[in-house]
Structure 1
Amino acid sequence: MYNIFYQSHAGSWAILIILFLISYFARKQKISVMLQRLFYIIMLVSGIGMVFIMGFPLLYVVKGFLAILLIGTMEMLTIRSRKGSPVGGIWAGFVILLAIVVLIGYDVISF
Structure 2
Amino acid sequence: MFDNTHAHITTWVIALILFIVALGLHNAGKQKGMKVVQMILRLFYLLIILTGVLMFFKHQGIDPALYGIKALVGIWVIAMFEMILVRMNKGKGTGIFWVQLIIAFIIVLYLGLRLPLGLHPFA
TM, length-normalised to structure 1: 0.89
Other-structure match for 1:15: 14
Count of paired positions: 109
**1: distance between equivalents of 2:39 and 2:48?**
14
Q: Distance in 2 between matches of 1:20 and 1:77?
A: 10
Q: Counterpart of 1:2 in 2: which secondary structure?
A: coil
Indicate whether 1:31 and 2:36 are aligned.
yes
Residue 46, structure 1, aligned to residue 45, structure 2: no
Partner of 2:91: 84
- Change in CA separation of 1:21 and 1:32 when aligned onto 2, cut-off 3 Å: same
Contact 1:24 1:78 in 2 (8 A): yes
What CA deviation, in whole Å up to 9, does each residue of 1:58-109 have, x standing for no partner?
1111110111111111111000111111111110000110111111111169
Determine if contact 1:20/1:33 at 8 Å carries over to the other structure. yes
Distance change >3 Å, CA 109–CA 95, structure 1 → 2: farther
AA at the equivalent of 2:47: I
Q: More helix by proportion, 1 or 2?
A: 1
Q: Distance in 2 between matches of 1:109 and 1:43?
A: 23
Unaligned runs of 5+ in 1: none
Give me the whole-angstrom Cα distance separating, in 2, the residues matched to 1:61 and 1:96: 17
Asked if residue 95 in structure 1 is aligned to residue 94 in structure 2, the reply is no
Q: Deviations over 1:21-57 (max 9, x none)?
A: 1112312121110110111111100000000011251
Point out where structure 2 has 5 or more consecutive residues left out of the alignment.
115-119
Distance in 2 of aligned mates of 1:30 and 1:80:
13
SS in 2 for 1:26: helix
The aligned runs of 1:45-84 (5 Å cut-off) are 45-55=50-60, 57-84=64-91
Q: What percentage of aligned pairs have identical amino acids?
A: 30
Q: What one-letter code is carried by the residue in structure 2 that aligns with 1:70?
A: V
User: Highest CA radius of gyration, 1 or 2?
Assistant: 2
Stretches (4+) displaced over 6 A: none
